[in-house]
Amino acid sequence: MLQTSESLTVNRRVSKAANTLSDLTAQLDTISPTQFDNLVTGVLEIMNPSSLTGVTIKVISVVPDPSTGAPIVHWSRDKDGNTPYAAGTDYLDLDDAVILDVSGSVIVAEIYYPHTLSVANYIFQGPLAFEERSVRWPRSAGITRIQFCTSPGSCTT
């Protein structure tokens, strides 16, 4: 019972972390690597993982392809500072592509957390995989696409 309760708590934390990450990112006009790192630090505090082994955190700006309207990656970043999805590639994990406006975008936060149970691990034979995806539109007035800026004046378009 204790481990079931613990697992439910971890699942709620992962869900809250993904929603918080997408929501806070969607409130920005631009985001820098330092700002992103600070958001990840906060999200990890929400999750309070006992181990970061196997934890993935990604934020993706998804825009419609100018010629087809299909969802494509505008920019992406993961908790290690890498680009998990190349700009311009198809983004296939958007549940409903209709939510994309022709000139707009959505912010997607993806979190994967493998939760290892101490005693019940003998029954389940491995970690429980908690995955959460949260999608938000940009929320700043007049902003349709949040830009990722590696330095002042050097932003995505």
140 confidence band (pLDDT: 50, 70, 90): confident
In the DSSP assignment, the letter for residue 90 is: B
Q: Is 88 or 2 the better-scoring residue by pLDDT?
A: 88
Task: Provide the strand spans (E) within the chain.
Answer: 30-31, 56-64, 71-78, 106-115, 128-136, 147-151, 154-155
Indicate the residue type of 29: D
CA distance 115 to 93: 23
Q: Is 144 or 102 the better-scoring residue by pLDDT?
A: 144
119 confidence band (pLDDT: 50, 70, 90): low
Does the pLDDT at position 142 exceed 80?
A: yes
Residue with tokens 């934020």: 59
CB atoms within 10 A of CB 51: 11
Does the pLDDT at position 23 exceed 90?
A: yes
Asked if residues 61 and 155 have their Cβ atoms less than 8 Å apart, the reply is no
Does the pLDDT at position 143 exceed 80?
A: yes
Residue with tokens 């998804």: 62
Q: Which of 12, 5, 16, 15 is nearest to 117 (CA)?
A: 5
Walk across the sheet containing 56-64 and list its strands: 71-78, 56-64, 106-115, 128-136
Walk across the sheet containing 30-31 and list its strands: 30-31, 147-151, 154-155
Average pLDDT over residues 82-88: 96
Lowest mean pLDDT among 44-53, 65-74, 105-114: 44-53
- Predicted confidence at residue 107, as pLDDT, reads 96
pTM, full prediction: 0.89
